[in-house]
Amino acid sequence: MIHWNSFSDFIAMGGYGFYVWGSFGVTVLIMTIEPIMVARNRKTTIARLKRQLRPENRNSAE
């Protein structure tokens, strides 16, 4: 069922390892970093909006 004979075969990708893993590596990196950045942006936005909502900041907000 599995196409590869050994792990080193799998890594080598028949000589195309650099191109295949270069593609998959950057994709995985981007698809990991993007959600983390979106989540972080959400946290800072909520913190800022909460600060602006406090009564003492009402006039200076915006």
Partner 1 sequence: MKDRFNLYRFASPATFYPLAGALIPYFAAVSVVFGLAGLWLGMLVAPTDFQQGEGYRIIFIHVPASWMSMFIYLVMAFWAAIGLAFNTRLSGMMAQALAPTGALMAFLSLWTGALWGKPMWGAWWVWDARLTSELILLFLYIGYMALTAAIDDARRADKAGGLLLLVGVVNIPIIYFSVKWWNTLHQGSSVNLAKSSMATTMLWGMLLMAMCFWMYSIAVAFMRVRTIMLERERHTDWVKALLAGGEK
Which residues form the interface with partner 1 (CB under 8 A)? 1-4, 10, 13-16, 19-20, 22-24, 26-27, 30-31, 34-35, 38-39, 41-43, 45-46, 49-50, 52-53
Q: What's the CA gap between 46 and 4, in Å, rounded?
A: 49
Read off the amino acid at residue 38: V
Q: Could you tell me the smallest distance in angstroms from the CB atom of residue 55 to partner 1?
A: 12
Q: Which is nearer to partner 1, 15 or 60 (CB)?
A: 15
